[in-house]
Amino acid sequence: MPLLTPPRFRQFALLGLVVAGVAGLVEATQVNSANGLRAFLAAALGWAVVGLALSLPGLTVRGLLLGGFFVGAGILSWSFSEQPGVVWAFLAVEGAVFATWTFPWLRDLAKLPKLGAAWLGLAYWLLGTLGALLNHPLVSVQRAVYGGLFTLGALAVLAVVRRTKKDPTPAIAAAFLLALGVLLLVGSGNALDDVHAVPDTAWGNNMAQRFWGGPFFLYHPNSIALISVLVALRIAPDKAFALWQRVGVLGTSFLMLLLVTSRTAWGFAVAAALVHAWLVYRKKLDYKRAVAMAVLPFVLLVALMVGSGGPQWLVYNRYPNSHAGSDLTSGRTQTWKKVISDFRSDTLAEQLFGNGDDARGTVTRADSVEDPNTKLPKLTTDNAFFGALRRGGITGVAAFLLGLVLLIRRALARDAAPWFTITVVAVLPTIATSDWVLGGTGGTLWILLLAAEAWQVYRPAAD
What would the pLDDT profile of 119-165 be if each residue is shown by its tens digit? 999 999 999 999 898 889 999 999 999 999 999 999 999 999 999 99
Q: Distance between CA 322 and CA 177 in Å, rounded?
A: 34
Average pLDDT for the chain:
90
Q: Distance between CA 130 and CA 347 in Å, rounded?
A: 12
Q: 125: Cβ–Cβ under 8 A, 6 or more apart, which residues?
A: 143, 144, 146, 147, 150, 151, 391
Q: Distance between CA 142 and CA 148 in Å, rounded?
A: 10
Residue type present at position 274? L
Q: Distance between CA 382 and CA 339 in Å, rounded?
A: 11
User: DSSP assignment, residue 112?
Assistant: G
0.85 surpassed by pTM: yes
pLDDT score recorded for residue 383: 92
Q: Distance between CA 36 and CA 26 in Å, rounded?
A: 7
Residue type present at position 188? S
Q: Distance between CA 83 and CA 215 in Å, rounded?
A: 15
Q: Which residues of the chain have pLDDT under 70?
A: 1, 285-287, 313-330, 368-374, 462-463
pLDDT score recorded for residue 324: 45
pLDDT score recorded for residue 378: 81
Phi first, then psi: give them for residue 172, nearest 5 degrees.
Answer: -65, -45
Q: Give which of 179, 189, 237, 172 is closest to 32, Cα–Cα.
A: 189
pLDDT score recorded for residue 421: 96
Phi first, then psi: give them for residue 122, nearest 5 degrees.
Answer: -120, -35
Phi first, then psi: give them for residue 218, nearest 5 degrees.
Answer: -120, 140
CB count in 10 Å sphere of residue 309: 11
Q: Distance between CA 9 and CA 32 in Å, rounded?
A: 32
Q: Is 208 helix (H, G, I), strand (E, B) or coil?
A: coil
Stated as kind and residue range, the H or E segment containing 217 is strand 217-218
pLDDT score recorded for residue 323: 45
Q: Give which of 49, 29, 28, 51 is closest to 39, Cα–Cα.
A: 28
**Length of the chain, please?**
463
The per-residue DSSP string of 141-199 comes to: HHHHHHHHHHHHHHHHHHHHHHHH-S-SHHHHHHHHHHHHHHHHHHTTTTTTSSS----
Residue type present at position 90? F
Q: Is 246 helix (H, G, I), strand (E, B) or coil?
A: helix
